[in-house]
Chain A
Amino acid sequence: MNAIVARNLTKRYGEGENAFLALRGVDLTVPTGEVLFVTGPSGSGKTTLLSILGCVLSPTDGTAQVLGLDVAGLREGRLAPFRRASIGFIFQGHNLIASQDAIGNVRLPLMLNGVGSAEATRRAVAELEAVGLGDKTMRLPRDLSGGQRQRVAIARATVGRPPLILADEPTASLDAKSGREVMELLTRLARERGTTVLVVTHDNRIFPYADRVVAIEDGQLVQEAA
């Protein structure tokens, strides 16, 4: 069973002479439960690939099956509830809500999905304990370190038990130790729960946490290694 099947995925920005091809016919298959890293230099198209597979960007051409749903060409009205229910996101800059404490940030996707406040809070606390922040549940993001913020972001992404987690440079703003801790945590939770994880990164220090690493350059997959 595959979590992601992309065929001839193409994305063009702009028109005419200003047109720029960010993806040039990418084929990618990610089996369910796999931890896949996509690496490549800046501007290579890895974030565009992540955006399309995360259903926040439409491809210009090609097909993308995410968790069995052909997402290419679907309207936002259909994609938003799909993202809400099925995909956990971890962003480069954590993107936590500054005015919400750790619990508030973690229970956000649950409540958007219709989980009641008490149940969402209980699950958020449990998830924060799982990422080692059980004693910092009431802290605002500004009162947490970079590594702790990224742990909150991981808890937010995993609390709803989504079958797919997409992470964009999750260690970019962390020191080496924090980066390792974050990746250990993310991959441990994913493996315990059978979650498929796709990580976009150019941090080769964290490659050992991947089941597979693919490289992308000029919008094309150029290398694949186990």
Chain B
Amino acid sequence: MRLLPRISVLFETAVRMALHDRMKLAGALLGVVFATFLGGQQLGIFLGLVQKNTLLADGVKADIWIAPKNTRQAEASTTLPERSVFLARTTPGVAWADPLLFQTGTLVTDNGTAEPVRILGFDASTGRGGPWNVTAGDPALLRNPGTLFLDTIDRKRHGGTNLGSVREVMGHQMQVVGFTSGLQPFGPTFAFTDFDEALRLFSRTDRNPHFVLVGVEPGADTAAVVAALQAALPDSDVMTGAEYHDRIVNYLLTETQIGVSFGTSTVFGLIVGFVIVGLTMFSGVVDNLREFGMLKAIGATTFDLALVLMLQAAGYAIAGSGIGLLLVGGLAAGIRSPALVVILPPWLIFGAPVLMLTVCISASFLALLRIRGLEPAMVFR
């Protein structure tokens, strides 16, 4: 119980000292706010980009994906042989296997403007790999020839499309029978049509899909099915949906400049925050050296004074990251559009204060070293 008043008075001292020098308080907070804001918005935009790139892998409900060898992005660079579908269907543990065509095509608006669309050709008879986030129309209508689903994001760009609108896609007249919402990967929006229709649109003479979607039988071991499929299709990549997602993220992080660019900005923000907070706290200790010396002289220990610094650092971290996150949230809401989504997941919101706490406490070590070497006798000089 004797410890409580001691901690209480050290807490009060820490708060009052921090609030007393408004300029230093503003400086320290600015450092944390800057680090949180820069890091938060960079991570948020990066996560938005990741979400766009993994839209297909996350949206299509399949236990297992079969893709051409070395597929690392959302879009496959080549196609699989048609027999992949049949081989998959005959593999033990497989409940179903359907082809998926994924290719960029063009849609011509009423005024003749050509707009790119990402055409997803799926087996409309089963509906697997078909549209999600449906806002209008019935995906079953895609069993009819010459039909497609577009996304509401590009309604204006596609010339003000409505249900029943007819647009020329890859030289073929296609009727819009439904809409999805928000299905815009990194690039043009998705357009769903039947697999056979997609083959027709691209004038394909083969029936080779870009992917084969696989469902696992209830109770079957997914890993064992993946292994069996990989053995049956050695020239393909077989992976679970989560593995496909991770493969795309890994590609973005390691083989494009995106990861380096966003990572550098985030680390830069943290370094700047660290330096500003560190220097501000050190300067605060130097300015209040006699006060700290007096505290030592009247019996406060180095641990007590370290606690004062830690409490101040924690205060800067919590208040600064709170303000920083509010700003990032405001920015995310302000710039949110189908083309640019800033994602702030709970781990980022709760992780930012923890990270800032680590940064601020680390930054206070310089000040702590100064206090540790402080002789209480200095107050008599």
Contacts and interface: CB of A to CB of B under 8 A. Distances in A.
A and B bound? yes
Interface of A: 47, 50-51, 54, 56-57, 76-77, 80-85, 89, 91-93, 95, 97-100, 104, 107-117, 120, 156, 168
B299 A109 contact: yes
Place the interface of chain B in its size category: 20 to 34
B258 interface: no
A216 to B, nearest CB: 14
Contacts of A80: 296, 299-301
B254 interface: no
Given A56-B380, A99-B16, A99-B20, A113 B299 contact: yes
Given A57-B377, A104-B16, A114-B5, A93 B290 contact: yes
Contacts of B344: none
B23 to A, nearest CB: 14
5 contacts: A80-B296, A108-B295, A110-B5, A112-B304, A120-B5
Given A56-B377, A99-B19, A111-B5, A104 B12 contact: yes
Contact of B380 (A47, A108, A111, A114): A47
Contacts of A84: 298-300
Which of A47, A98, A109 is most buried by chain B, counting CB atoms within 10 A of its CB? A98
B301 A97 contact: no
A187 B46 CA distance: 70
B8 interface: yes
B157 interface: no
B250 to A, nearest CB: 51
B3 A95 contact: no
A84 B5 CA distance: 14
Given A47-B380, A117-B8, A112 B300 contact: yes
Contacts of A110: 5
B20 A108 contact: no
Interface string B277-300: 000000000001011011111111
Contacts of B299: 80-85, 109, 112-113
B2 interface: yes
Given A57-B375, A91-B379, 6 more contacts: A85-B299, A89-B298, A92-B380, A108-B298, A111-B6, A114-B3
Nearest to B290: A95
Interface string B219-249: 0000000000000000000000000000000
